[in-house]
Amino acid sequence: MANLLEVKDLEVSFKTHGGEVQAVRGVTFSLNKGEVLAVVGESGSGKSVTAQTIMRLIACPPAVIKNGSIRFDDRTDILSLTDKQMEAVRGSEIGMIFQDPMTSLNPTMTVGRQIAEGLIKHQALSKSAGLDKAVELLQLVGIANAKERANQYPHQFSGGMRQRVVIAIALACNPKLLIADEPTTALDVTVQAQILDLLKELCDKLGSSILMITHDLGVVANIADKVIVMYAGKVVERGTARELFYDPKHPYTWGLLRSIPRLDTDDTMDLIPIEGTPPNLLNPPQGCAFAARCPYAMDICTTRQPEETAVSESHAASCWLMHSQAPKVDHGLMLGGANR
């Protein structure tokens, strides 16, 4: 399968009065056509910054892209495009969905116009043709009375409906890649599944790849083909969804898995939060960033960064525990299906 997106050694920092905050510290991953890649991590792990850097939505200054490349659709580095060239990519080839549907729509513009805007710009449609297409898109994302609804304003829609509108905007021009930044976080649980289903269905239909930013492993399980886990601006583990759920290698991934409820087991297992807070990226630790919170941390963890160790062709993690001389530890997790 051909690579649609290839991010290599991406480093992004923010200049602040206190100094340079290293938000993304050498992130590498790739995404194939038609695939769904989930980026998982706590807030502050650099996942959103990574996503926004791909879209070049990040304001420079204060952000500085210090290193790395982002190759999209086998073309030149996105980071080297001019603003004008980038405008042609955004919306047309890469669409994006944001977290909060309540705020990601302009309150003073009709929904139809907001959808049509991108179409008019990228597909050189007339205003009325753009609006007609917008009505079709509203129907596509499952909004009844699309024609009337197109003339309404966002505040006349419920949260779930608004996210559908946002999806319609993002998918209006059949983008090759859809970046969804926590698309269900702000929604009611009952609506979340519907939205995810809709996303998956539409992307299948359109053949779009999805880069799903989330902290919710439930979402990952639902939708992702591949997963990368980020912590403190670095990828700590990568693999297929199956590998991650059934054979996690990084203590941080263990922690994440421990902290989600499972519906398929008895409530004998307590939910265990990860103790402590992520490190201050103004001065990232010398060794493994997770070491301070890691119950299995060894001396070396605080002094040297672990290398990425491959488990399989698709699975790898960065942890000293995977070193041949490291002691074997039991993470005590019930993994995969509730078969124990």
Partner 1 sequence: MARFIVRRLLYAIVTLWVIITLTFVLMHSIPGQPFNNVDKMTPTILAHLNYTYGLDKPTYQQYLIYLNNILHGNLGTSFRYEDRTVNSIIGTGFPVSATLGFEALIFSVIIGLALGVYAALKHNTWADYTAITIAVLGVSVPNIVLGPLLSYYVGVKLGWLPTGEWGGFEYTILPSITLGMTSLAFMARLMRTSMLEVLGMDYIKTAKAKGLSNREIVWRHLFRNSLLPIVTILGPLVVNIITGSIVVEETFAIPGLGSSFVESITDKDYTVIMGTTIFYSALYILSLLLVDICYGFVDPRIRLAGGRD
Can you give the binding site for partner 1, defined by CB under 8 A? 55, 57, 83-84, 87-92, 95-96, 98-100, 103-109, 114, 117-118, 121-122, 153, 155, 166, 169-170, 172
Nearer to partner 1, 68 or 154 (CB): 154
Smallest distance from the beta carbon of 19 to partner 1, in angstroms?
A: 18
Nearer to partner 1, 109 or 329 (CB): 109
3-class secondary-structure state, position 182: coil
Helix (H), strand (E) at residue 52? helix 47-54
CA 28/CA 6 separation, integer angstroms:
8
**Nearest in space to 207 (alpha carbons), one of 325, 35, 30, 54:** 35
Smallest distance from the beta carbon of 270 to partner 1, in angstroms?
A: 36
CA 21/CA 282 separation, integer angstroms:
4
**Nearest in space to 213 (alpha carbons), one of 96, 297, 107:** 96
Nearer to partner 1, 123 or 240 (CB): 123
194 secondary structure, DSSP code: H
CA 165/CA 104 separation, integer angstroms:
10
Smallest distance from the beta carbon of 96 to partner 1, in angstroms?
A: 4
Smallest distance from the beta carbon of 216 to partner 1, in angstroms?
A: 19
CA 245/CA 67 separation, integer angstroms:
31
Nearer to partner 1, 168 or 227 (CB): 168
Q: Which residue type sits at 145?
A: N
Smallest distance from the beta carbon of 287 to partner 1, in angstroms?
A: 35
Nearer to partner 1, 27 or 89 (CB): 89
